[in-house]
Structure 1
Amino acid sequence: GPQRPYGEFAPDEVAAELNLSYHAAATQLALAHTVTHRLPATLAALAAGILDLSRVRAVADATEPLCDTHAAAVEAKILARGGRASHAVFRQALRRAVLAVDPDGAAQRHELQRRGRRVGLQPFDDGMAELSAFLAAPDAQAAYQRIDALARRAGDADDTRSIDERRADVLTDILLGRHRDDDPIHVEVGVLIPLGTLAGLADTPGELAGYGPIPAGLARELAANATWRRLLTDPVDGHVVEVGRRRFPSPALARQIRARDWVCRFPGCRTPATVCDLDHVRAY
């Protein structure tokens, strides 16, 4: 097997000394070894009180699949702005840094994880159970939005169920074939993709609304068949300068529409579709 960075029975000795289980001691020892050998700046930030132990553990976990050079680059990007306002924001910043530093590896890891998508069932007490799904983030986001929209539409003044109960009931009805989709729900999953990434000139991570940073390749995949809205952002601090009112169809959708409609759709107009605007029949 691979050479151990410390003695085979070191976790046992630590466990006995600190009154821990073997697993807890092994986990702490592995973290200590990683931080002291691969993440010295993170260790210094812990000693200085800039990071707490949970953030240190997050850095170690996020950089675990990376080579030493990439791990150091992620560490430098993260520590340049400190511990952030919360653990959740810190973890998002870590994911964004990993995607930016190692885009190829991130794409491979995403594809590997995608092959592990699954549905699980966990029994609980009192006749209850938990049904879970491990999905690609865009699919999970879209599914949740549809469930949420149906649940909010299902409630009325006499409905005493909470929104969580209604979401659970809607999901159950859909899966068991009891839901009638007379008025389809349209969901919108927002993806922020830098122009350079969209054009294939850069691998800057995209952002999935409600989730956070996603690999550049996944962002391009989602944008390939999407309706676009232009957002102009400040190149220095990234704040939004302008939100375009017009939406732009994807190239694939534009080709399909122009193949279907050779000329303008207005009655009597014979202007070629190639020089017409692609617009909504109903105002968006």
Structure 2
Amino acid sequence: MSDEKQREADALRTRELVAEARRLRVMIAAAEAELARTHADAYALTQEQMARLRDASTREREMPLRSMAAELAVDARVSDRTLQTQLFEAHRTMTEFQASWEAWREGRGSRAHVRVIVDAGADLSDDEARAAYEAEVLAYAEKTSAGRVRSFAEQVVEKHNPKTMQERHDVAVLDRRVWVEDLRDGMSMLGVIGPSVEVRGVHDRLTRQGKAIKAADRAVRREAAARAAADTAAAAGRDAKQPDPPQGDGEIAATDVGVSFGLAEPGESCAAGGSDATENLWFDERTLDQIRTDVLLDMMLTSSPSVDPTAVEGGLGAIRAHVQVTVPATTLAGTTTGGAELDGKCAVDPETAKILAGNVPSFDRVFLDPVTGAVLAVDRRFVTAEQKRYLVARDIRCRFPGCRRPARDCDWDHREDWALGGKTDVDNVGAFCKRHHTMKQAAGWTVVQEPGGRLRFTAPSGLEYIDGPPPRVVFMPDPPPPGFDPTGEAVAPF
């Protein structure tokens, strides 16, 4: 096949792939749009249920929506909080942005396009203004990416919004919050939404502090280089005044004196050979981003707020962060290199785990079944406190399917009500966060505890769901390195 025919064949195949990808995107968009309509119908059903509870308390009136979200979430294996938000957003899209939903279902837009249009136009309460905004933005959205639509939508909504910037800001500032998202390799992301002036001010101060640290490091480097150069010149002068050492057979002549600029091995001096200076120099190799992060975390963990209305002894600055870390004993001993976890959510690197274990005032040992990894017991016997330690170790997080709130922040729920004769023991008690504890009691969910800590949930609809204790991964010791002498003296890891 000639080059020209090969190019034509490649071009034809590319056009076919583009067309197939477009066809599949249209199918996916239609399915997602129909799922959104189903979610909107589910939300509407909960509103009808809530309307029938005219004399109920606020908490009871919330139960239909929360229970519906929980049941859909368990079936979809996602968080019920996430599903509840999706129900509300789907209902708002179907009732207030019908044209955008139609474009989504027909494949003229994507979920991302619709989300941008709905989010930007959420403050438009007037039907005519919202329709005019939607028509203008939708025409542009069908021609470009969702990222480009966002800036355009914000400009259009500004034109149609009767509220002033100050009025909108006063409402938006109520949504300020801080959250954590766990990443890979023992890392997490701390996010914050707040007023632009304060957030930008925080970033600017961190940047200025980082640049000050970098400037101080450059000054240390210049001083070290000047001192090393002076030491080298002095050493050269001494060598010039001394006679050459005798060199016999098999002897090696002295070589030039070397100088290290902060890059010596640990325990070595960074001064020139023969110098009286013996201190080790450390140069800051961190990037500006790394310094900003370190300064922020240091200040947040150790500093005190400027406004402290509490009566806590020592003030808010005396309050320290609490985390629950589970570390295999083999990792602390150095025979394995994994298995440390933070609140059952994310991994912790072994060095950090060892530092925490070495500085914590006390810790609990958790005995696991060597085959199944099930929690067998903890090594303390203080009735209520011991039960709580056992349950925190076993449950790790809220036991409602899909929930990840740490067990240490949860309520201790009786499967069989204590007032009806249920026992307060580990076979009848487990961790339930406040949200799911309340919903279980008020929305008609029932729970039966089975052997091994498995829970069988029955929803108001009659469907059943199973939640088992978090799975455990048992780490086996690494093979000894070549030449390892098992009779040698063992060295403690910390």
Query: TM above 0.5, one fold?
Result: no
TM-score (norm 2): 0.28
| Greater Rg by CA | 2
